[in-house]
Chains A and B, each alone.
Chain A
């Protein structure tokens, strides 16, 4: 009961504090998958996470050739990747999220209210 009241109070506080005019759909994620530590992680964070949550990276199971094609596609589409850093980014992604990668989605709240 106490816990429910605390949750209710926090929710009301959150709603009251939220901007009056919401112009974008709020995020689903209350938490995201973490990117594993390793060489190139910071480059991947800086290049990929402005547009994608880490979830979309950690669920992939791609060969180095497939990762290369995708990184190049994202560079054409405006991802902030310096040519010098491309190799390190591909190595990180292919090293961690290759064809044998396993993924379990995070259980999250219902969405479509």
Chain B
């Protein structure tokens, strides 16, 4: 039934899509036509703030879009006063803003070897946006959250088909109360439906699986949420294992913070010996900032610092740039690595895990250098 309405709708879209695709800076890479999954071409991720229409989209299922007139956020569970808040109610509360990175937990899954099942994201399931909304802490304090509550359960409006388990999650209430936001705006405009509008959770520094879209209900509880998406999926090895060897759920923990990572977004295809060429990119981590980004043209034997752009706020990415002057002709491979403020260094190889989460191996580009 969903599919029928999809097909009916899509019949009218090619004309519009053709017009937009004529503009090379306005295109996405379709990873799944339905449910909607699309990543940004890496070479378009060149802004400090990722334009809303170019930010990647990750959907598990097909969301039922609520009528904004009747939409409510329910707050229940371990609270003195359950709440039933309209969007206007939320907008009357003190507003909070954060500029930070949203990255799909599976960004880079397609780069793992041995290969793993799932959306084969490569580089572009990531972006940096300005989020505005209400602090989770303010809402939970207004509801009189109990000190016994240790986890905040989150529920969105997407509706899985058949006997597929629902995408219900929870996160530690300590993190939710420290800096999470219930966001109704993105980049200065109402949060688009594709990005979870009217309301999504923003969890700075943590992977996108915690950033529940199309929020309907939050519920502080004593215990963590159960179910497939807590106990089987979105888990990460407690200690690295051998690539290709699957682990049991108890050998893994719930994935939380992202790993330190840098990508090269801008590089010349060709360069000349002795002439400076410009490289640029972004870097971020599950820590609030990166300390440095370095580049190497000799497979990591020597590293050279990139210049970090001053624009930043906690858990936002840093733009970086580097002026590279090749010293010899031939094909050069340049790799970037980031180090975060806690001292974590981006590794040559990402820690293999069976679901392909938080890939952060060195990213390299090839440049043809002529004399």
Contact = CB atoms under 8 A, between A and B. Distances in A.
Interface of A: 4, 6-7, 10-11, 13-14, 17-18, 21-32, 49-56, 59-62, 66, 70, 76-79, 99, 103, 105-113
Nearest to B158: A25
Given A25-B194, A50-B3, A111 B33 contact: no
Interface string B134-157: 000000000000000000000000
A29 B53 contact: no
B125 to A, nearest CB: 12
Given A6-B15, A24-B65, A51-B164, 5 more contacts: A24-B63, A49-B3, A70-B117, A78-B163, A112-B195
A111 B28 contact: yes
Contacts of A7: 15-16, 18-19
A106 B195 CA distance: 21
Interface of B: 2-3, 5-6, 9-10, 12-21, 26-39, 52-55, 57, 59, 62-65, 67, 110, 114-117, 119-120, 161-165, 192-195
B163 A29 contact: no
Nearest to B164: A77
B17 A109 contact: yes
A24 B5 contact: yes
A11 B16 contact: yes
Given A28-B30, A70-B117, A108-B38, A113 B12 contact: no
A61 to B, nearest CB: 4
24 contacts: A4-B19, A11-B15, A14-B13, A14-B15, A18-B9, A18-B12, A21-B67, A25-B193, A25-B194, A27-B33, A28-B34, A28-B36, A30-B10, A51-B162, A60-B115, A62-B117, A77-B165, A107-B28, A107-B29, A109-B17, A109-B27, A110-B26, A112-B195, A113-B52
Nearest to A28: B36
B19 A112 contact: no
A106 B164 contact: no
A56 B34 CA distance: 9
B194 A27 contact: no
Contacts of B17: 30, 108-109
